[in-house]
Amino acid sequence: MSIVVTRIDERLIHGQVAYSWSVAYQVTEYLVVDDEAANDPTQILLLSMAVPSGKKLAILSVEDAVSHLDAQPDSMKTFIVVKSPHVLLSLIEKGIMLPSINVGGMYYKAGKQEICKTVYLDEEDKAVFRKIKDHGIACEIRTSPSDKSIDLYTKI
């Protein structure tokens, strides 16, 4: 398997993600890992409409994503997108090695603090990111590929 980008974005796939990141990293497949979206026909339809022509799309639960990734050929350049760091920690704990994590959009909700323009975290989120850090995985904040990378760990 070849994971080229792993991104946290509560919007999952949208124009910016679908185009700019796929061009910058020559993505061949989008993998949305989200238990809710995997079981929602409307979400599946909307996400499939956001993926550029010629790119593959899989929308899977955490369990199914592990099997999917384990079966991937090295030639597949996969872009993983999730809504929360909790999902990525689950993948890591199930043996999926992520080269790094890009945090693009975790938006304001009651109890969350702004750590950057597009990233708001609560104490539980911070604890999950610390566990990810313990696995030696870098986490950056970057909205688009051309933005300056900010080390998330320096903000928590």
Residues annotated as part of the active site: 14
Cα–Cα distance, 60 to 136 (Å, whole number): 25
Tokens of 55: 């790119």
Distance CA 109, CA 102 (A): 20
Among the listed residues 115, 124, 118, the one whose alpha carbon sits nearest the alpha carbon of residue 7: 118
What is d(CA 33, CA 51) in angstroms, rounded to the nearest whole number? 15
CA 44 to chain centre: 17
How far apart, in whole angstroms, are the C-alpha atoms of residue 17 and residue 24? 10
